[in-house]
Structure 1
Amino acid sequence: MASKIKHPELADRGRLQIEWAEKHMPVVAKFIRERFAAEKPLNGIRVGAVLHVTKETAALVRTLVAGGAVVRLAASNPLSTQDDVAAALASEEGIEVCAWRGMSEDEYFDCIRWIASWEPNIVIDDGGDLHATLHKEYLDIAARVWGGTEETTTGVIRLRAMEREGVLKYPAIAVNDAKTKMMFDNRYGTGQSAIDGILRATNILLAGKRVVVAGYGWVGRGIAIRARGMGARVIVTEVDPIKALEAVMDGFEVMPMKEAAKIGDVFITATGNKKVIRREHFEVMKDGAILANAGHFNVEIWVPDLEELAVSKRQVRPYVTEYTLADGRKIYLLAEGRLVNLVAAEGHPSEVMDMSFANQALSVEYLVKSRGKLEPKVYNVPREIDEEVARLKLKAMGIEIDKLTEEQKQYLESWKL
């Protein structure tokens, strides 16, 4: 099929949104795009991408097309698509889009199958659903894929499980694990955008409230820091003793979720795991507790338990569902338990996605150049790509740094003082 979108009439508005994003994404939309346009390193390559269809993703897709690629794009979340951006991209040469806001689960996976059955040379994924679909339903096609990339922690976890089980059919680059992605996108991007989504959905005051952050990886760190910066009293829950100790040393309260559930006002999950907040926690929560998820899938807040406990529910604001329990307590779930930053807000700021998608573009180029040379394993982003992204970002910001002298290089490489 050709592009399948819902609102083609929004294309002009979408182009303005993309223009705004690209002004704040000089690494991927200027430096890399200009080189790609001149060198055409992706000439004739079919790139299948399952990503959040946002104005920032549009900047990446346009850069891939400038490099000679033909791109098919589908959504990586049923509720995260910006319909105006989807319309704008679908009107451009070399791009086909299957995405709209409010997709059913069947429609969501139909679009992913549309990409898989296209026999892409390179696949880009956010969450692992494209990788998994290829390996479960299109094994012959998966075996012919040159390589893939993965944008988020959840997807990398799935890829590494596939590698451990010996079923991975092509080399995959864990873009999420690049320092210029994880340390900035996960921490500063999600930290800001998750809080932004919660505030847009609720308009509550964070100052003075107890905010419970589940998980203290880079995403949890970013959310905890931003919440504290707005005056919240932040509690962290963890299963990893090292991360828990780090949270304590960073000045946060740390306790089990069963205790935090009794006193928290706002709960934000950021673990990549399932059933992080479940029945036993809902049963002891305060009246008026607010629940939000910043993990990729809608499994961290276990909504089936909440549905069973509730005697009624209603939509009280856009993206806010009120669940009334048998004893009269009300619990508020944001964005249906899906990614609050992309459902109730616009996702990460363009400036931070500039680095994430620069890693994606350069990793795609690397996979094309490395065709036939890599085993079907999960690889880190090559260090030279990570450092190039940082160098270009600093250049865009007008910042210069020192360089080692030859004497200093020799000193660092020698065991003799």
Structure 2
Amino acid sequence: MSTDLTLDLDAEAIALDESDPLRSLRDAFVGSETPLVYFDGNSLGRPPRATADRLSSFVTDQWGGRLIRGWDEAWMDLPFVIGDRIGALALGAAAGQTVIGDSTTVLLYKLLRAALDAQTAADPARVEIVVGRDDFPTDRYLVEGIAAERGARVVWVDVDPTRGVDADLLRAAVGPRTAVVLLSHVSYRSGFLADGATLTAVAHDAGALVLWDLCHSAGSVPVTLDAWGADLAVGCTYKYLNGGPGSPAFAYVAARHQATLVQPVQGWMGAADVFAMGPEYHPAEGMRRFLSGTPPVLGMIAMQDTLDLIARTGIGAIREKSLQLTGFALRVADGILDPLGVRVASPRAEAERGGHILLSHPAMRAVTARLWREDVIPDYRDPAGLRIGLSPLSTSFAETLAGMRAVAEAVRAEA
């Protein structure tokens, strides 16, 4: 690497950090003061420092102080209060359409099954579920399982693994037999950003419902579900929303569908009268009907501090920082990784780029293991991909440059 290139990259990182309007927010996160480089915020976000006080206070004051009274005083409504806040700040969703509930997998199952059943009941010919062949494993496994369970058929969309499902691919896959389309807004592997409005319209033109997987976009990329005309969506809260390991997912159901969809996991918390304990199940109105068991109150506490930061900053500014981070990482990759045979396996156009990029090289599995030992934390994705996840609220440009240089050194060592 030339001295000029080294100086240019250092100068660019310094200039970008100095001009970054979000730079002070980095100090709000645990570990930001250490030399550790964290490239995996798109899998598990750093905890905000304020969360430690929030959790401690909850244990001593609310759980310890209020005990069972906490349910009547606040906890029963928490899935809807926080759900609406996520909807307003990160999803472009009006109130009354978003709820915090189970894991991503369980919520995807509920909404996908409900949508398929509703479509097939309205038109018995609609027995197909469309999904991308390169979507996250849970999405694909659920589609296969539900199709087998309900006598439906899977229509696979074959995609370029450096991209994702686009309008042309979706038009070729949907038709009069399509019941539901399951789409990822941001590809978990390549970081490809789908056109939510256009793909929703393509599916609707074919008479299908759309279920969006927002796991890799919520909190990083602006989402406007209501404006898209979206039907359903699910996303996790432990990535860019910093809810902590295993924090519960959110579900969005457009208001026009809530009275007609029948979710398949009927539990007491989704009943019309939760405490009637009646002999038969009668679903509640609105989003409560999509709950099943007791709300995971402890799991919902931590994400509130990141929601505070999003409210303070605005998702537009977060997206701008995200694009700057990934753009800088791409320039660094071109300068110091391309000569080593490392290929960028992600879209370069800003309009098609989510919050992470994928670097491909045959040695990347060993490279990832080496980097972890050196306190540089990306993640590995088959085949031969190292994923660079850059969280706009907690990642600096200097950290990004240091990490990319560590990747280069590790590739030299392992190749």
TM-score relative to the length of structure 1: 0.30
Comparing both structures, which one devotes a greater share of its residues to strand?
A: 1
Instruction: With a CA cutoff of 8 Å and minimum separation of 6, indicate the structure with the bigger relative contact order.
Output: 2
TM-score relative to the length of structure 2: 0.31
